[in-house]
A and B are shown apart, each in its own frame.
Chain A
């Protein structure tokens, strides 16, 4: 069965520091993988997606993620954190048609 694990319910980084949010998945078929961001009191917004093309995927707001099949990982990174990056981040993998399996989310905290 497919599953998604996001390591760390909270991640705290200093402004300007590297952001690394971890996502590991299990899937019996080649997966489609997604990262979404949720700002306070808003809906979820797609950051980036992997759909079996390039393994390094660039998204909005300077984020990128690398698909590593051998590690079953799809970690999200950003070289330099901004205060505006403070939000909840969700990793998701396609389960079957019409359903995504969601991680529990990671709250990113940016320290000034």
Chain B
């Protein structure tokens, strides 16, 4: 019973391609997030959704487009991939905006 799941776990692709990462949570939470973790382990919030509405959109290139079809899912689509997009992307969820966040296992994206 994985609480927050992401697919795929690994993604290797060429520059210029478009790819998607999917996230699902079965915790009944109303808030979901996307984070980017770079090679130095620094965590950067990208997006936050509450009840399917975009709450936080940090300074992320508009090549990144999140989509929340329902409260349990938050997908991330990336257009025209660049070398600098290589990182581990984490999905997380929480109940409300101040409570602890539950993280998925991460998707390691490598752009060649």
Q: Please, how many angstroms separate the alpha-carbon atoms of A64 and B106 in the complex?
A: 26
A45, B40: Cα distance in complex, Å: 18
A-B contact pairs, 13 of them (CB 8 A): A42-B105, A43-B4, A43-B105, A44-B43, A45-B103, A97-B55, A97-B97, A97-B98, A98-B55, A100-B45, A102-B42, A104-B41, A107-B41
Chain A residue nearest in CB terms to B42: A104
Interface residues of A (CB under 8 A from B): 32, 34, 36, 38, 41-46, 49, 88, 90, 94, 96-100, 102, 104-105, 107
Decide: A43 and B50 in contact? CB cutoff 8 A. Answer: no
Interface size bracket, B side: 20 to 34
Least distance between B69 CB and chain A CB atoms (Å): 19
Determine whether B75 belongs to the interface, using a CB cutoff of 8 Å to chain A.
no
Determine which of B41, B42, B56, B103 lies in contact with A98 in the assembled complex, contact meaning CB atoms within 8 Å: B56
Contact status B43-A90, CB under 8 Å: yes
Contact check, A102 vs B43: say whether CB atoms are below 8 A apart: yes
